[in-house]
Amino acid sequence: MDEFLLEDYKNHLTFERQLAKNTVLSYGSDVESFLEYCVANETSPEAATPDFLDQYNYQLRVVEGLVSSSVFRKMEAVKSFYRFLMVEEKIKEDPTRFLKSPKLTQKIPTQLTRAEMERLLSYPAETLAEMRTVTIIELLYAAGLRVSELIGLRLENVNIEEGWVLAFGKGGKQRFVPIHQEACERLKRYLVMREGYFAGKDVSSEVFLNKNGKKLSRVSVWKDLADLGRKANISQKLHPHLFRHTFASHLLQGGADLRSLQEMLGHANLTTTQIYTHLDVTDLKNKHKKFHPRG
């Protein structure tokens, strides 16, 4: 396997396309698997033909039995790799140009109800860890942040007085997201408690810290949310993206327009935002009854 070629590709994703670290790792891993397949079949990636790519697609779908979403992701990575080879003029024709990725069924995001959100946000936090988790929930729900944006949030990125946070999204893109007064008050109380706990200690400047004063990890956020969900008797298993879905769904149900929601979520494409245009059946029935001439 050409490790230098793989490294060049990952550098291209990191420095030229400025993709997020996790995206680079994912694409790099998928392309590495493809390069190993090339070696096993004694074919140079530069010499691969459309038929060879079809065989690889068959390998993923039938031989390995991967689900459509996994096949889609891996083939998109391979397409990206060949676009890179074209840019670097290592090949003259892209063998993936006519390759069709499997169609994915669009999943409607799940969301929490307003009652469930109220139960979580009114949870009587007693320890710093519980206060941190409830504040995380408040902020995820108030601003629709991704978990990477949340744990990367630094003290200087939060303006409690004016009510906004500066989020650093995919590819290092920045966006200002407004947060409401209740979220500001919750954040203020947490920061006071945080300051008292770490008084006199040299700690990181991220808003959310672990017990050692270091940046909180993704794993800790997932674990803490799941724990609090059980304590608050929430039937769904809580995870960071669930609150992003809930944020978007509740805003749309409240009358927000798609363009504004796109800006707040940091979506590059409006099509991505449109997945949130689903509403619960009750809401649809109420609006139908209200606005239909014969309702």
Q: Tell me the mean pLDDT in the region 82-89.
A: 94
d(CA 55, CA 58): 5
Across all residues in the chain, what is the average pLDDT?
Answer: 89
Whether the Cβ atoms of residue 232 and residue 128 lie closer than 8 Å to each other: no
Q: State pLDDT tens for residues 42-63.
A: 999 999 999 999 999 999 999 9
Largest CA distance in the chain: 69
Q: State pLDDT tens for residues 246-259.
A: 998 898 888 888 78
Query: Considering Cα of 219, then 222, then 225, then 231, what sign does the dihedral take?
Result: negative
Q: State pLDDT tens for residues 259-272.
A: 888 888 887 776 66
pLDDT at site 173 = 81
Strand-by-strand arrangement of the 158-159 sheet = 158-159, 164-168, 174-178
**Catalytic machinery residues:** 146, 170, 241, 244, 267, 276
Domain architecture of the chain: domains with CATH: 3-87 (1.10.150.130), 114-288 (1.10.443.10)
**Is 0.85 surpassed by the pTM of this model?**
no
pLDDT at site 47 = 95
Q: Is the pLDDT of residue 64 over 70?
A: yes
Q: State pLDDT tens for residues 133-161.
A: 999 999 999 999 999 999 999 999 999 99
pLDDT at site 280 = 47
Q: State pLDDT tens for residues 156-180.
A: 999 999 999 999 887 778 889 899 9
The fraction of the chain above a pLDDT of 90, given in percent, is 69
